[in-house]
Structure 1
Amino acid sequence: MSPFEPGDTVRRLSARLKMRHLILLLEIEKHGSLTRAAEHTASSQPAVTNALADLEGMFGGSLFDRSARGMVPTALGRVVLARARAMVHDLDHLVRDMETVASGRAAHLHIGVVAFISGQLLSAAIQRTSPDGSQRLTVTIHEGTSDQLLRQLRDHTLDIVIGRASAAVDLEQMTFEVLYRQQPRLIASRRLAARLGRIRLDWHMLADLDWVLGAPHTPMRDQVADIFLSHGLRPPSPIVESYSSKLIGEMVGANERAVSIVPADIAEELVRTTGVVIVPYSFDWTLPPIAMFTRAQGLQRAAEQLFAGSLREICLQDSEPKRKQRGVESS
């Protein structure tokens, strides 16, 4: 049982805990050494030692253990550090919001986005947050894998994540809303697409072409591998692999032996921007749907609610039946 009543602990922390204490704890975790933490906070080692002792008294237990690896957080320390990291990031966001409001904008959002999300979709959602052009939000887009971005969402680095909802994703402390599903499209250069369009879909023949694919160990890459495995074939080894859909489009468009499989909405963007052509084949995959993730705890700011509502409305309007109509029908 805890030696402190919850009410007493809250009062004690409210009276004594300072932001500099949280920053110090994060420095100790980062460097694993009281001496190095002192160097990076312009303090002396005895001062840091005393400050840590005071903090452990405030929290009612040891926050770090000393080991061969240096200062390692205890179970209590991990809980405190997670909250400390979120509070420090919230302070950074507060400063950014103050600067944004001072410049005549409404607020600033940090949005995490996985690869192969339509830039047109994101742009439309951001623009819709201010139809008349007044008090518009400013946004920083952060790219990464779903796991990376959700960790940043938990520690408050990010406000919203647009990623893939799958069983492999850690949903602890998260809420999510499925926005839409993406259908697959094969893309190629104009000349190769014209040649492929005159023959039936043949995965054995396609396996011998030059493939340009997304990064390994991602849902997109796994889906392409599954397609070939389901036809009894070894997945192709790509000549280029990249997180960038635009680079994939440029490489495919410039190589008359190159092909790639990308989501339909991304394929349509690449047709406009890189000159690739969608090959008129129809096939299926089980790519996890695109979802919007937010933190389960705490209230969303008005700016987050505004962006989420805009994104939701666009996805409802641009539903999957409309996407299929814009896509190419099977031959």
Structure 2
Amino acid sequence: MTAFDADDVVRKLTQRLKMRHCLLLLRIEQHGSLTRVAEDMATSQPAITKTLAELEAMFGAALFDRSVRGMTPTPLGKAALARARAMLHDLDHLARDMEAVVAGHAAHLHAGVIPFISGQVLSGAILRATSSDQQRLIMTLHEGDSHQLLAGLRDHTLDLVIGRASAAADIQGLHFDVLYTQQPRLIASRRLAAQLARRPPDWRELVELDWILGAVHTPEREQVSNIFLAAGIAPPTPIVESYSTKLIGELIVANDKAISIVPADVAEELVRIAGVAIVPYSFGWTLPPITLFTRREDLRHDAYASFADALRQAGRQLADRNGERRL
């Protein structure tokens, strides 16, 4: 195997790499054909072939395998694609930051947020971060599960993620700051909650109700499954799978057979907003902790630190108010 000279590659990339090279890599990955890439980029195939050859010369190796089925990235090509995608996202974020600075703000942050987080915590942190005279920010929020959001953090689509730390999460190379834990709460319509509150939980009875839950493989869903499996009962098949806490609340209020398990802070918000009721059952577990994830190289960015401090303060206030555990 030929030795790889990293210093030589860095020198070549620094002198010759252009953003069009990064764009070309992504277009080849997308289309798998230089002919289709040329059509997409409104240029000729010889020009595309020449640009790819320039790029592979910088790396000193092939970035794509060619076959009758099309072009697929080599291991080196996959690494280059990941960095190219991140560079293009960073370029977009640079333009957004510049726009924010011109408008009198410190930066424009793209934050990924899982759905089951208290609106009070999130809004409190955002208000502090966007109203500070020293580090006034513009925020764009993106919702998804922790797996999706951490992938967006890695490819630089997102600047930070507020998600759950768990053994299943791929956090290698990321910095994480565990904020607080959440207790689970069983919620139902007021009529059903009043009926269930009169007796201890009967999971054989509860499994027959209309469950509304998050998607499979989410921590909330897995914990519900574990409750029933521990009781020797097959977990319920939900009538609705949803990440929308607002929708969960509306469905439960409209159906006296509907039931769900959500974090305590979310349950309390749904009591106020949607009119659900909390069934006073006590569970012997907590959900994986709410955690702030960032890329290691971004730790010293003042804008990140400003929002992180605001989020920690809001999380501490919630934990103190609800008697939940701060970490």
Normalised by the length of structure 2, the TM-score is 0.93
CA RMSD of aligned residues (A): 1.9
State whether structure 2 residue 197 is matched by structure 1 residue 197.
yes
Q: Is the 8 A contact 2:299 2:305 kept in 1?
A: no
Q: Equivalents in 1 of 2:289, 2:16: separation in Å? A: 46
Residue 237 of structure 2: aligned partner: 237
Distance change (3 Å), C-alpha of 1:9 and 1:255: same
Distance change (3 Å), C-alpha of 1:138 and 1:298: closer
Residue 272 of structure 1: aligned partner: 272
Residue 322 of structure 1: aligned partner: 321
Residue 28 of structure 1: aligned partner: 28
1:153-232 to structure 2, matched below 5 A, reads 153-232=153-232
> Which amino acid in the other structure matches residue 302 of structure 1?
D
Kindly, what percent of the aligned residue pairs are identical? 63
Q: Equivalents in 2 of 1:259, 1:43: separation in Å? A: 57
**Counterpart of 1:310 in 2: which secondary structure?**
helix
Offset, 1:170: 1.2
Q: Equivalents in 1 of 2:212, 2:290: separation in Å? A: 22
Offset, 1:302: 1.6
Q: Is the 8 A contact 2:210 2:238 kept in 1?
A: yes
> Which amino acid in the other structure matches residue 144 of structure 1?
G
Residue 124 of structure 1: aligned partner: 124
Q: Equivalents in 1 of 2:134, 2:295: separation in Å? A: 28
Q: Equivalents in 2 of 1:269, 1:314: separation in Å? A: 15
User: Structure 2: which 5+ residue stretches go unaligned?
Assistant: none
Offset, 1:296: 2.5
**Counterpart of 2:95 in 1: which secondary structure?**
helix
Q: Is the 8 A contact 2:129 2:135 kept in 1?
A: no
Residue 260 of structure 1: aligned partner: 260
Q: Equivalents in 1 of 2:298, 2:200: separation in Å? A: 54
Offset, 1:322: 3.2
Moved more, 191-200 or 90-99: 191-200
Per-residue CA deviation, residues 89-110 of structure 1 (Å, 9 max, x unaligned), is 0000011111122222221111
Distance change (3 Å), C-alpha of 1:133 and 1:191: farther
> Which amino acid in the other structure matches residue 322 of structure 2?
R
1:287-302 to structure 2, matched below 5 A, reads 287-302=287-302
Residue 328 of structure 1: aligned partner: none
1:14-163 to structure 2, matched below 5 A, reads 14-131=14-131, 136-163=136-163
Offset, 1:285: 3.0
Per-residue CA deviation, residues 99-134 of structure 1 (Å, 9 max, x unaligned), is 122222221111111221122211111111145567
**Counterpart of 1:249 in 2: which secondary structure?**
helix
Normalised by the length of structure 1, the TM-score is 0.92
Residue 329 of structure 1: aligned partner: none
User: Structure 1: which 5+ residue stretches go unaligned?
Assistant: 326-331
Distance change (3 Å), C-alpha of 1:54 and 1:94: same
**Counterpart of 1:54 in 2: which secondary structure?**
helix
Offset, 1:245: 1.2
> Which amino acid in the other structure matches residue 233 of structure 1?
I
> Which amino acid in the other structure matches residue 48 of structure 1?
I
Moved more, 106-115 or 270-279: 106-115
**Counterpart of 1:129 in 2: which secondary structure?**
helix
> Which amino acid in the other structure matches residue 323 of structure 2?
K
**Counterpart of 1:289 in 2: which secondary structure?**
strand
Q: Is the 8 A contact 2:109 2:138 kept in 1?
A: yes
Distance change (3 Å), C-alpha of 1:2 and 1:129: farther
Q: Equivalents in 1 of 2:269, 2:256: separation in Å? A: 20
**Counterpart of 2:162 in 1: which secondary structure?**
strand
**Counterpart of 2:287 in 1: which secondary structure?**
coil
Q: Equivalents in 2 of 1:73, 1:176: separation in Å? A: 31
